[in-house]
């Protein structure tokens, strides 16, 4: 099998001074890419910055292995500056991995606006600003690959992470929209929800789990999604410890009720179990169906009726 190469490509990895980003940067560089290693060098809670060491160390390791890389110390909140680093040093940008991240774990009751705002700034505004800055270059060259980093916390929720989960699921909507906007320019955008032993997980995971979940076992999916031969877009993947999977939304077949004065809360309660029935044949994973078709069908239905009294468990 031919080795996937990234020669002549310029890859920006945000938050590449440690953990997952560091592995992505090193793998891209080992396969020929010129890499911008972005990291502002702060704490896991988003405090402190200006520690250039994290990015510098990764750049040194890449250069020592014969690769090409440059460090960038800007916060992703100023993503346009990160893209400028790529343009100034290498004259182009082909791949953007929005990976930088922090945590502010706290339950909703005790959450402050600052806990909320900083998570949104790093995880949502950061990828937005960086991607927006890269977009004109992608569009002009009719080529771009973007990988946005979500989390199982965003996809499924996690205790004490309402801020982080909201931001991480926000990136899914961001990605699904950009995949549509980018398709005709060959700009492909996907989401990755990784799992890896890093400084974000070392306080909660035991050492053997940290070892098994080394970030290097996630990196091959990121590089694959970023390769010119990969045509995937608008998709959500999970990767951890060498296990790779794809996630999709699924809509139940649902129930079409006649939209008139008989469509009351009582009718909805009565039909609640059918609305949420995933076992029927018509369950779908795509977007909004044909509304006009549904309206037409609905208008031909008999008047809605409360057949029997049900509670919310459908009993």
Assess 15 for contact with ligand NAI (CB under 6 A). Answer: yes
313 vs 50, 93, 264, 309, CA distance in Å? 54, 53, 18, 12
Maximum alpha-carbon separation in the chain? 75
Q: Which stretch binds ligand NAI (CB under 6 A): 100-108, 109-117, 229-237, 292-300?
A: 100-108
Assess 199 for contact with ligand NAI (CB under 6 A). Answer: yes
Pick from 25, 36, 54, 178 the residue near ligand NAI by CB under 6 A: 54
Instruction: Decide: helix, strand or coil at residue 93.
Output: coil
Pick from 10, 42, 116, 179 the residue near ligand NAI by CB under 6 A: 42
CB 79 within 8 A of CB 123: no
140 vs 36, 131, 187, 217, CA distance in Å? 20, 14, 10, 34
Min CB(101)–ligand NAI separation in Å: 2
DSSP state of 189: E
Closest CA to 73 of 58, 56, 57: 56
Pick from 9, 99, 175, 223 the residue near ligand NAI by CB under 6 A: 99
CB 94 within 8 A of CB 72: no
Min CB(134)–ligand NAI separation in Å: 15
Q: How many residues bind ligand NAI (CB under 6 A)?
A: 34
Assess 44 for contact with ligand NAI (CB under 6 A). Answer: yes
Rounded Cα distance, 153 and 139, in Å: 32
Assess 131 for contact with ligand NAI (CB under 6 A). Answer: no
Assess 35 for contact with ligand NAI (CB under 6 A). Answer: no
Can you say whether the dihedral through the CA atoms of 241, 146, 25, 207 is positive or negative? negative
Assess 127 for contact with ligand NAI (CB under 6 A). Answer: no
Q: Is 73 a catalytic residue?
A: no
Rounded Cα distance, 95 and 131, in Å: 10
DSSP state of 122: I
Min CB(13)–ligand NAI separation in Å: 10
| 3-state helix vs strand vs coil in the chain, percent to 5 | 45, 15, 45
Q: Which stretch binds ligand NAI (CB under 6 A): 1-9, 42-50, 294-302, 303-311?
A: 42-50
Pick from 122, 134, 169, 270 the residue near ligand NAI by CB under 6 A: 122
CB nearer ligand NAI, residue 139 or residue 216: 216
Pick from 27, 33, 36, 40 the residue near ligand NAI by CB under 6 A: 40
The residues that are catalytic are: 164
Give residues in contact with ligand NAI (CB under 6 A).
14-15, 17-21, 38-42, 44, 46, 54, 75-77, 99-102, 122, 126, 149, 151, 193-196, 198-201
């Amino acid at each position: 099998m031919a080795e996937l190469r990234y020669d002549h490509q310029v890859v920006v990895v945000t938050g590449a001074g440690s953990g997952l980003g560091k592995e992505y940067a090193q793998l891209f560089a080992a396969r020929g890419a010129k890499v911008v290693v972005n990291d502002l060098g702060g704490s896991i809670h988003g405090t402190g910055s200006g520690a250039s060491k994290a990015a510098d160390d990764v750049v040194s390791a890449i250069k020592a292995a014969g690769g090409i890389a440059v460090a960038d110390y800007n916060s992703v909140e100023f993503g346009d500056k990160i893209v400028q680093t790529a343009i100034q040093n290498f004259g182009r940008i082909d791949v953007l991995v929005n990976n930088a991240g922090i945590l502010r774990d706290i339950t909703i009751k005790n959450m402050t606006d600052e806990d909320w705002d900083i998570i949104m700034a790093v995880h949502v505004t950061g990828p937005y600003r960086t991607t927006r800055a890269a977009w004109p270059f992608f569009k002009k060259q009719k080529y771009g690959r973007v990988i946005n980093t979500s989390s199982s916390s965003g996809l499924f929720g996690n205790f004490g992470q309402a801020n982080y989960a909201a931001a991480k699921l926000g990136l899914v909507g961001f990605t699904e929209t950009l995949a549509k906007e980018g398709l005709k320019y060959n700009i492909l955008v996907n989401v990755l929800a990784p799992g890896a032993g890093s400084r974000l997980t070392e306080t909660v995971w035991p050492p053997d789990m940290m070892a098994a979940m080394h970030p290097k076992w996630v990196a091959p999916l990121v590089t694959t999604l970023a390769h010119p031969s990969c045509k995937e877009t608008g998709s959500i993947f999970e990767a951890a410890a060498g296990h790779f999977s794809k996630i999709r939304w699924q809509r139940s077949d649902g129930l079409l009720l006649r939209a008139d004065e008989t469509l009351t809360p009582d009718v909805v309660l009565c039909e609640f179990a059918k609305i949420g029935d995933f076992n029927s044949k018509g369950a779908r994973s795509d977007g909004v169906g044909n509304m006009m078709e549904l309206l037409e069908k609905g208008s031909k239905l008999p008047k809605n009726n409360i057949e029997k009294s049900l509670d919310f468990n459908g009993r």
